Amino acid sequence: MRVGPLHLREAAGADVERMLAFRNDPSVNRFMLRTHVDPAAFRAEWSAIGARETDFSCVAEVDGTVAAIGFLDVVDGMGQPGMPRRTEAVIGYIVDPQLTGRGVASALARGLLAAAFGQLGLRRVTAGCFADNLASARVLEKAGMRREQHGVEDSWHAELGWVDGYQYAMLDREWRAQQPAGVRRQA
């Protein structure tokens, strides 16, 4: 999928080392719950994505270089028995810190939403960030998501202690209302 300057695609084996380098960068980890990932476990997680029918994670390239990681996991929402399954998703992103401030995260968030609502036909998408991560909050808001929750000291961070978090969401009908006339579900 093309979104602005980005080409979103499945990660290839050759991408994993580049992804791992910026995933474990200290400036990135400041805003992650897992402040470090084990390289072997990271490689194994990415090699298994194709086998998981609910994981649509991807890489985002700019001019042929992996610039970011996008996460899109299809999940079951909360509900009583009989509720339709796999109608929701959780999205997230990690951008190479050398490329922040260039619209990569905003384009990636819009692409993940387009995949969730357009290609996968989902009903609801959520995303979260630390309240102190103002850049990520702006990305989600620019993508059209609305803040649903401000959790006070709802997450433990190994270096920062208890931190506040924001939860964002968007419904399919909200996404459709933001699209130019004629955009239809592609699934």
Please give the full DSSP string across 77-122, using - where no structure is assigned. Answer: -S--TTPPSS-EEEEEEEE-GGGTTSSHHHHHHHHHHHIIIIIS--
Average pLDDT value over all residues in the chain: 89
**pLDDT value for 110:** 96
For 88, the token pair is: 């929701």
Q: Kindly state the average pLDDT of the residues 98-126.
A: 95
Q: State the pLDDT confidence band at 183, using cuts at 50, 70 and 90.
A: low
**pLDDT value for 186:** 46
For 78, the token pair is: 């909360």
Residue 63 DSSP SS3: coil
Instruction: Indicate whether 187 pLDDT > 70.
Output: no
- Could you give the CA distance from residue 76 to residue 38 in angstroms, rounded to a whole number? 28
For 154, the token pair is: 């709802």
Return the CATH number of 2-178, one of 3.40.630.30, 3.40.50.300, 3.90.79.10, 3.30.70.1290: 3.40.630.30
Higher-confidence residue of 8 and 77: namely 8
Cβ atoms 16, 42 nearer than 8 A: yes
Q: Kindly state the average pLDDT of the residues 100-104.
A: 90
- For the stretch 127-171, pLDDT in tens is 999 999 999 999 999 999 999 999 999 988 888 899 999 999 999
Q: In what order do the strands lie in the sheet with 88-95?
A: 2-3, 6-9, 58-62, 65-75, 88-95, 124-130, 161-171, 146-157
- For the stretch 9-49, pLDDT in tens is 998 888 988 998 888 888 887 888 777 788 888 888 888 88
Q: Where are the domains of the chain?
A: 2-178
**pLDDT value for 180:** 84
Query: Residue 91: phi, psi to the nearest 5?
Result: -115, 160
